[in-house]
Amino acid sequence: MNAASEAPVSADTSSSATGSPGLARRAARAFQKGDYTHALGLYREAASQYGDALFRANIILCERRLEAPKAAASVPEPQALSRQLAETQRLLEHYFNRCETLEHRLLERG
C-alpha cells in the first residue's frame, strides 16, 4: 500500500512472470475504478497463489474502502440532527422543571 495516496501497490504477477493473467494488475485496475469488491476478490486470489504477505496491505485497503460507505450512510442528515437536538433540549427542560417541582414539594413537607 502506498501510504501517501492509499492506493494499492502491485506485486509483479504479470503473465510472463507467473503464467497467470496478472491478478495484481487486474485487481489494481478494479480498485482504481472503485470496484473494491472485485479488487478484494482478485487480491485474495493472488494472495492464495503468491503469498499473503505480498497482498495483505491491498486486502486491508479494499476492506476499508468497502466499510467507508457504511460509515458515511450512518451519519444523519443535518435537519435530523437539529430536530433531535431540539427534542433533547425540550426533554431536558421538562425534566429539570419537574425535578424542581418535586424538590419544592419535598421541602414544603419537610
Q: Are 44 and 58 in contact (CB under 8 A)?
A: no
Tell me the per-residue pLDDT of 18-54, one tens digit each, with 9 for 90 and over: 444 588 999 999 999 999 999 999 999 999 999 999 9
Pull the grid cell for residue 92.
431536558
Tell me the per-residue pLDDT of 45-101, one tens digit each, with 9 for 90 and over: 999 999 999 999 999 999 999 998 766 667 778 998 899 999 999 999 999 999 999
Query: Beta-carbon neighbour count of residue 23 at 10 Å?
Result: 25
